[in-house]
Amino acid sequence: MELLVEGVGHAFGALPVLEGVDLEVRAGEILSLIGPSGCGKSTLLAIMGGLLRPTRGRVAARGTPPAGCLNPFTYVFQDFALLPWRTVAGNVALALEHHPLSRAERRERVAAALSTIGLAEFARTYPGRLSGGMRQRVGIARALVVRPAVLLLDEPLSALDAQTRELLIEEFLALWQRDRTTAVHITHNLGEALRLADRIVVLSRRPGRIKATVAVDVPREGRTRPEAAGRIAALHAVLWDLLREEARAAARELAA
């Protein structure tokens, strides 16, 4: 499915956080949104999935969800948003329980989601006993179990250490290759965006507007190869040139 953001603006009370955002997320692409902190990228993602009503504009979707889709717009959260009193399997099953599925089908879906991301042996473990990386794997399994049409990844790797982040990027891309689900990914990490995205949208500081869109013109599987290093470094420089002044100015503003 594709997602169309049409003239979206948002204000919290008198404080404008987003202005005039027009954006098209193409079917089957990963779009990364980067911008300085406080630029409204999380607000934009919340609007895109229908968790927040924008003050202006609208978000529309086009296309048909994949077969067996139970929740077209599905989030993966920065802080994982797991229920500590439910086991790993229980957390994944939570996304299915209010849908009319047979017990067997539910169990089958949960087991399949857990095994694709290597969590099968932790099904009965509570999240409190898992590392951050394993917790976010649960978050990803819970998102995949509903067979989403659009994945909304809200800084999914920001709470993780660099090595865990690297592992999860590789695992996520391997999974993503199967279904090529349309995905919007928010990050403040340029390297992460350059690993995942087809296109990177740069937002200005608050109120966030689209400053530039940069296509990552290196095949995804080749981006860590030495031959691609020059091109990736050049893109990194382009992005950082776009961001530097915004980030500097944003850092000097008082928090809202």
Partner 1 sequence: MSEARSVPFRGGGFVLRPRRGLSLAALAALLAAWQAATGSGWANPLFLPAPTTVAATLWELAASGALTEHLLASARRVALGWTLGTAAGLAVGLAMGIFSAARAAGLPLVSAIFPIPKIAVLPLFILWFGIGEPSKVATIAAGVFFPTVIAAFSGVDAVPRTLVRMGQSFGMPAWAIVAKIVVPGALPTVLAGFRISVAIAIILVVAAEMIGADAGLGAFVLTAGNLMRTDQLLAGVVVLSALGLAAAGLVSAAERLLLRWR
Find the shortest distance in angstroms from Cβ 212 to partner 1.
Answer: 29
- Site membership for partner 1, residue 240 (CB under 8 A): no
CA gyration radius, the chain: 18
- Site membership for partner 1, residue 44 (CB under 8 A): no
Q: Which pair of structure tokens corresponds to residue 253? A: 């503003």
Distance CA 55, CA 9 (A): 6
Q: What is the largest CA-CA distance in the chain?
A: 55
Q: Is the preceding peptide bond at 207 cis, omega within 30 degrees of 0?
A: yes
Residues listed for the chain = 256
Binding segment toward partner 1, per CB under 8 A, in 30-38, 93-101, 102-110, 193-201:
93-101
Distances (CA, A) of 198 to 25, 171, 192, 202: 10, 17, 12, 13
Single out the residue of 15, 51, 229, 234 in contact with partner 1 (rule: CB under 8 A). Answer: 51
* DSSP labels, 34-70: E--TTSSHHHHHHHHTTSS--SEEEEEEES-PPTT-S
> What x-and-dash track marks residues 152-191 binding partner 1 by CB under 8 A?
----------------------------------------
Q: Which pair of structure tokens corresponds to residue 250? A: 């944003």
Residue reference for tokens 């090595």: 163
- Site membership for partner 1, residue 128 (CB under 8 A): yes
Binding segment toward partner 1, per CB under 8 A, in 26-34, 81-89, 102-110, 208-216:
81-89
- Site membership for partner 1, residue 94 (CB under 8 A): yes
Size of the site for partner 1 (CB under 8 A): 22
H-helix or E-strand spanning residue 74: strand 73-76
- Site membership for partner 1, residue 219 (CB under 8 A): no
Find the shortest distance in angstroms from Cβ 98 to partner 1.
Answer: 5
Binding segment toward partner 1, per CB under 8 A, in 77-85, 104-112, 198-206, 246-254:
77-85
- Amino acid letter, residue 45: L
Q: How many CB atoms lie within 10 A of CB 210?
A: 19
- Site membership for partner 1, residue 251 (CB under 8 A): no
Which residues of the chain form contacts with partner 1 (CB under 8 A)? 49, 51, 70-71, 73-75, 77, 79, 81, 83-86, 94-95, 97-98, 126, 128, 142, 146
